[in-house]
């Protein structure tokens, strides 16, 4: 599935929820299931510090593709991270670098990507892209 | 459950704060973030609007009528502040940009004039970053040492530890009157008296005290007192530095510019008298006027009544939240003002804040600009509800129910 297709799939999934509460319950569940970052990668170096919550992000190459793992101390942030990883992980650096992030807006979670929220998510999106550019440069 | 209190006519008061009748996320707004900033009554909003509609002009330098009217309004505002905090003289009231501006002013000019290597400044564990960083900066510059008074597990200032830290080396003590994160009301008068015995000066950070309790700077005998307009129902961008006349006279000016000078030549400039010496440039005129309108409003209701009502509200909210499973209150001092900080086992404060925001409730989550204090309690942050006299017992119930719902979703 391409990055575009994964995003479209998520938008469709979220269209099922009429109530904000159902949507958040789903995100919380996703957060609980997130394949979390290995303890050895939960380092200061991989920490994205927000004012409200902390995010750890680690990236490594497996064959042609980048594999992202991440964690957060806040569960809603973690749920949104799970969605991001579903979209971006296991794609080539070039695909990731060239992609647009649109699903967050379309499922009505734009507020979580606002810089004022300071939950580390904005920096995380930047960091995902940075890794793809860095791995591209190395290749 | 609506507990009855006859101290204030809260419904009438609420009708004077237009924002309180708006909806947020489709729900009636329950505003419990008063520690961050308070809402503004119509009288303040209309004072601001009236100034720009009829009075706007620059002050202290105009020959024309409009300028004189604006100057009179601004200087009357200073007198209103003076009376409100019972300063001895009007010129002991300096307009600043806020508490942060006031503290930076004193840290800078006091440090420049009086601090030398090895001198000590005392603060406490519960200080806001605004009452930590300016002192760190000046200490670093001058080679002075910052000492920190610890607190106990309830969040109370440890007087005996303070006494141990006080010495002949202590030049200044800077302590908060009311903790923004814990709600602790510190024994300011005692802290000040003990510092004076050692010949040290005292600055009190009153940002969280002035909106909730009667402050009398002469009774406290503090040397400097700092607070903000926007936390006491006035506009943002204006605040006050109170200082004793002789101390302020002996300190050098802070910033250079218009209004703070007597005469300027390229060889030498002489400085203006108090309070203008510390007010370089065109000030926040409308801010001062708006702040005076806010003080008039507080006086109309009565600060004693406000304090009594908020005490009932906090007591009720504390009782209610204690019954919610997994909640731990952070800050259980004997004397507290209007702040309810808490953590919930197994959840992150930001998740609680996000969910109850969806239910129309505004609280604050995070470290509240008190990171060292969070480290003291070994927590990343708290969820914090802060009350004002326009909040109701019913709103406390709505908040508690929303909290229960959020916990259920998150666990």
Residue stretches of chain B with pLDDT short of 50: 1-2
Under the phi-then-psi rule, with left for phi > 0, alpha for psi from -120 to 50, and beta for the rest, what region is B257? Answer: left
User: Are B95 and B209 within one domain?
Assistant: yes
Domains of chain A, by residue range, sit at: 3-138
pLDDT at res. A119: 66
Contact in structure between B30 and B360 (CB atoms under 8 Å): yes
pLDDT at res. B1: 47
Q: How far is B404 from chain A (nearest CA, A)?
A: 14
- Max Cα distance, chain B (Å): 72
User: Are B158 and B269 within one domain?
Assistant: yes
Q: Beta strands B361-362 and B224-228: pairing type?
A: unpaired
Q: Final residue of a domain: which of B275, B300, B325?
A: B300
Q: CA–CA distance from B54 to each of B67, B73, B285 (Å)?
A: 11, 12, 13
**Can you tell me whether residue B238 is helix, strand or coil?**
coil
- Is A129 part of the annotated catalytic residue set? no
Whether B347 and chain A come into contact, CB under 8 Å, resolves to: yes
- Chain A residues touching residue B353 (CB < 8 angstroms): 52
Chain pair A-B, CB pairs under 8 angstroms: 38
Contact in structure between B34 and B388 (CB atoms under 8 Å): yes
Instruction: List the domain range (segments joined by +) for residue B52.
Output: 46-300
- Residue in chain B nearest A120 by alpha carbon: B350
Q: How far is A97 from chain B (nearest CA, A)?
A: 30
User: Are B24 and B65 within one domain?
Assistant: no
pLDDT at res. B353: 95
pLDDT at res. B250: 96
Residue pointed to by tokens 């904005």:
A122
pLDDT at res. B231: 98
Pair of tokens at residue B273: 């008298």
Helices (H), B277-363: 285-301, 303-322, 349-358
Q: Final residue of a domain: which of B279, B300, B321?
A: B300
Compute the radius of gyration of chain A from its Cα atoms: 14
pLDDT at res. A114: 67
The answer, yes or no, to whether residue A12 has pLDDT greater than 50, is yes
Q: How far is CA B250 from the centre of its chain?
A: 26
Closest CA to A107 of A30, A27, A34, A50: A27
Cβ-in-10-Å burial (0-12, 13-18, 19+) of B58 comes to middle
CA dihedral B32, B38, B41, B45 (to 10 degrees): -140
User: Are B211 and B331 within one domain?
Assistant: no
Cβ contact A24–B355 (<8 Å): yes
**What CATH number is associated with residue B314?**
3.90.1150.10
Identity of the residue in A25, A53, A73 whose CB atom sits nearest the CB atom of B409: A25
Under the phi-then-psi rule, with left for phi > 0, alpha for psi from -120 to 50, and beta for the rest, what region is B119? Answer: beta
Model confidence pLDDT, tens digit, residues A45-94: 888 876 678 889 999 999 999 999 998 888 998 999 999 999 999 999 99
**Can you tell me whether residue A135 is helix, strand or coil?**
helix
- Residue in chain A nearest B365 by alpha carbon: A52
Architecture per CATH, A3-138:
Alpha-Beta Complex (3.90)
Identity of the residue in A28, A73, A77 whose CB atom sits nearest the CB atom of B409: A28
- Residue in chain B nearest A31 by alpha carbon: B410
For residue B275, whether the previous peptide bond is cis, meaning omega lies within 30 degrees of 0, is yes
**What CATH number is associated with residue B161?**
3.40.640.10
């Amino acid at each position: 599935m391409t990055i575009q297709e994964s995003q479209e799939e998520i938008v469709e999934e979220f269209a099922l929820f009429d109530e904000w509460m159902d949507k958040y319950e789903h995100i919380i569940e996703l957060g609980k299931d997130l394949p979390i970052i290995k303890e050895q990668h939960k380092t200061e170096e991989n920490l994205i510090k927000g004012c409200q919550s902390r995010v750890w992000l680690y990236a490594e190459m497996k064959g042609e593709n980048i594999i992202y793992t991440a964690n957060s101390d806040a569960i809603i942030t973690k749920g949104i991270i799970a969605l991001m990883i579903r979209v971006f992980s296991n794609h080539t650096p070039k695909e990731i670098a060239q992609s647009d992030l649109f699903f967050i807006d379309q499922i009505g979670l734009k507020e979580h990507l606002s810089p004022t929220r300071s939950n580390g998510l904005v920096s995380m999106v930047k960091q995902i892209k940075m890794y793809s550019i860095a791995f591209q440069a190395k290749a | 459950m609506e507990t009855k209190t006859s101290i204030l006519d809260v419904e009438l008061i609420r009708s004077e704060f237009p924002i309180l009748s708006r909806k947020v996320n489709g729900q009636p707004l329950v505003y419990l973030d008063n520690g961050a900033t308070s809402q503004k009554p119509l009288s303040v909003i209309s004072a601001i609007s009236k100034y720009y509609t009829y009075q706007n002009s620059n002050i202290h330098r105009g020959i024309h009528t409009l300028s004189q009217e604006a100057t009179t309004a601004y200087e009357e505002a200073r007198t209103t502040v003076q009376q409100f905090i019972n300063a001895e003289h009007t010129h002991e009231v300096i307009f600043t940009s806020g508490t942060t501006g006031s503290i930076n002013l004193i840290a800078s000019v006091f440090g420049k004039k009086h601090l030398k290597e090895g001198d000590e400044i005392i603060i406490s564990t519960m200080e806001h970053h605004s009452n930590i960083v300016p002192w760190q900066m000046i200490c670093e510059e001058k080679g002075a040492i910052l000492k920190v008074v610890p607190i106990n597990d309830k969040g109370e200032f440890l007087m005996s530890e303070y006494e141990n830290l006080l010495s002949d080396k202590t030049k200044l003590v800077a302590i908060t009157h009311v903790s923004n994160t814990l709600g602790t009301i510190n024994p300011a008068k005692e802290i000040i008296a003990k510092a004076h015995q050692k010949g040290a000066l005292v600055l009190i950070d009153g940002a969280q005290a002035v909106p909730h309790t009667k402050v009398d700077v002469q009774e406290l005998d503090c040397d400097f007192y700092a607070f903000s307009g926007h936390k006491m129902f006035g506009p943002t961008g204006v605040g006050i530095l109170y200082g004793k006349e002789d101390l302020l006279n002996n300190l050098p000016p802070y910033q250079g510019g218009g209004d703070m000078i007597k005469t300027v030549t390229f060889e030498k400039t002489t400085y203006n008298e108090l309070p203008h010496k510390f007010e370089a440039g065109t000030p926040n005129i409308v801010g001062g006027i708006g702040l005076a309108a806010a003080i008039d409003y507080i006086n109309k209701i009565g600060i004693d009544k406000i304090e009594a009502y908020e005490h009932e509200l906090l007591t009720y909210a504390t009782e209610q939240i204690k019954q919610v499973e997994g909640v731990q209150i952070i800050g259980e001092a004997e004397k507290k003002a209007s702040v309810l900080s808490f953590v919930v086992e197994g959840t992150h404060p930001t998740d609680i804040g996000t969910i109850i925001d969806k239910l129309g409730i505004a609280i604050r989550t995070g470290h509240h600009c008190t990171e060292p204090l969070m480290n003291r309690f070994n927590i990343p942050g708290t969820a914090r509800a802060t009350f004002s006299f326009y909040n109701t017992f019913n709103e406390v119930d709505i908040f508690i129910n929303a909290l229960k719902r959020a916990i259920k979703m998150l666990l």
